[in-house]
């Protein structure tokens, strides 16, 4: 079975891209499933069901969704094997832009959209920088020049990635993405494999439930802004 991690900022179109790609893969007789990782709530499970995609959703609650991802992906892979899928796709948000769910030797996709601004690729961090494939969405509502500038900014951050444009409404580009995913390396197990990036974890008093403001209540890994430093 092949495993592909999808990550990207909220509302970049990850779910729409996965649904359109799944349609092209279903037409090619590829059996697949989706594991959705989110924080508190999501309507994507119903979206996947409407598209005939077998899926499961997990909520991280008060944990970082990517930390939750890495604590559960091994069991999810086992579920995919049990279901007999040819391909399992995981979708996670990467809300803080510092984390990345990408795993070495596992195909990694980052979804970004043209409307997020030309400076966004520099801000996203490892989930874009370390992706094998970068999917750019919402190209139908910007000019050709804007699409080219945005793709150039993506290449500046990740020169080695395959960049592909996918329309989440019409599905244009999804078939090509599906072909790329079918060439992803098979993954039999994940135990012992390495994340491509060490997820930052600030173990401080606020991580442990502290709510009061003030230096007296701050313990552990705390970093202060240097307001006297020249910008």
Q: What is the mean pLDDT of each run of 10 residues along the chain (231 residues)?
A: 94 94 96 91 87 92 79 93 96 73 94 93 91 96 94 96 96 96 95 86 75 85 77 69
Of 101, 89, 35, the closest CA to residue 64 belongs to 101
What pLDDT does residue 214 have?
A: 84
Strand ranges (DSSP E) for the chain?
Answer: 2-7, 32-38, 54-59, 87-92, 107-113, 133-137, 162-165
CA distance linking residue 182 with residue 39, whole number of Å: 29
What pLDDT does residue 95 have?
A: 60
Question: Global pTM?
Answer: 0.89
What pLDDT does residue 70 have?
A: 85
What pLDDT does residue 96 have?
A: 66
What pLDDT does residue 106 have?
A: 96
Q: How many CA atoms lie within 13 A of 70 on its CB side?
A: 19
Neighbouring C-beta atoms of residue 58, cutoff 10 Å? 19
Cβ 68 vs Cβ 58: under 8 Å:
yes
Map tokens 């599906």 to a residue: 178
């Amino acid at each position: 079975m092949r495993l592909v991690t999808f990550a990207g900022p909220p509302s970049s179109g990850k779910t729409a891209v996965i649904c359109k790609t799944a349609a092209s893969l279903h037409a090619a007789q590829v059996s697949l499933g989706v594991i959705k990782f989110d924080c508190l709530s999501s309507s994507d499970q119903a979206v996947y069901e409407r598209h005939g995609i077998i899926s499961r959703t997990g909520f991280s609650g008060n944990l970082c969704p990517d930390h939750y991802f890495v604590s559960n992906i091994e069991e999810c892979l086992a579920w995919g094997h049990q279901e007999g899928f040819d391909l399992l796709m995981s979708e996670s948000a990467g809300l803080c832009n510092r984390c990345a769910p990408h795993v070495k030797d596992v195909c990694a996709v980052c979804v970004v959209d043209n409307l997020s601004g030309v400076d966004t690729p520099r801000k996203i961090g490892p989930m874009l920088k370390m992706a094998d494939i970068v999917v750019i969405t919402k190209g139908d509502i910007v000019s050709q020049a804007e699409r080219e500038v945005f793709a150039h900014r993506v290449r500046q951050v990740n020169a080695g990635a395959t960049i592909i444009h996918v329309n989440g409404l019409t599905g244009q580009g999804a078939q090509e993405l599906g072909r790329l995913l079918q060439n992803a390396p098979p993954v039999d197990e994940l135990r012992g494999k390495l994340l491509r990036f060490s997820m930052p974890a600030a173990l401080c008093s606020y991580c442990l439930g502290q709510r009061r403001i003030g230096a007296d209540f701050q313990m552990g890994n705390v970093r202060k802004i240097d307001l006297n430093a020249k910008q």
